[in-house]
Amino acid sequence: MEKHDSREDVWFVHDGKVYDGTKFLSAHPGGAESILMVGGQDATEEFNAIHSSKAKAMLADYMIGLIGNKAESKDDIAPERAPIDKQVIAVSRPSFSSCGLL
Ligand code: HEM
């Protein structure tokens, strides 16, 4: 997750979901830099503090997966407090087979 922090490939987490902001960088009203600053990180609080409900609705188009948690020890029980490198993500991308074309 934390590797996705470049202009060519920038992901961030919002409310337990993973978003790919790469395609939106150049169109973002807040500028590319503000998305790059949270690349590879959980941006839930910052995102909610800044954005309108319209912007929150736009997020859905960029979702690529969910943050999971391995819970390897008692310290890992609270997923929101676990560092991102202790978390696993399940990326779900649409495939042809899921639309019944294959
Ligand atoms: C794909 C994801 C994102 C979408 C769809 C999005 C959408 C928008 C929209 C529509 C605005 C205009 C103001 C509004 O309607 O709220 C905006 C402004 C802004 N966004 Fe985002 N945004 C995204 C990600 C982020 C992230 C991750 C950050 C950093 C935490 C961020 C920081 C900002 C800032 C600083 C502004 C400018 C606010 C201002 O000028 O008052 N955005 N964004």
d(CA 65, CA 73): 24
Domain borders along the chain are 5-97
To test the pocket of ligand 1, the residue of 12, 17, 22, 50 to mutate (highest count of ligand atoms within 8 Å of its CB) is 50
Q: Which residues pair with 18 in a beta bridge?
A: 13, 65
Q: Which fold is adopted by the domain 5-97? A: Flavocytochrome B2; Chain A, domain 1 (3.10.120)
**pTM confidence score:** 0.77
Nearest-CA residue for ligand 1 atom 34 is 30
Q: DSSP code of 43?
A: -
Question: Quick check: CB of 54 below 6 Å from ligand 1?
Answer: yes
Taking the chain (102 residues) in runs of 10, the rounded mean pLDDT of each run is 94 97 98 98 97 98 86 49 53 53 52
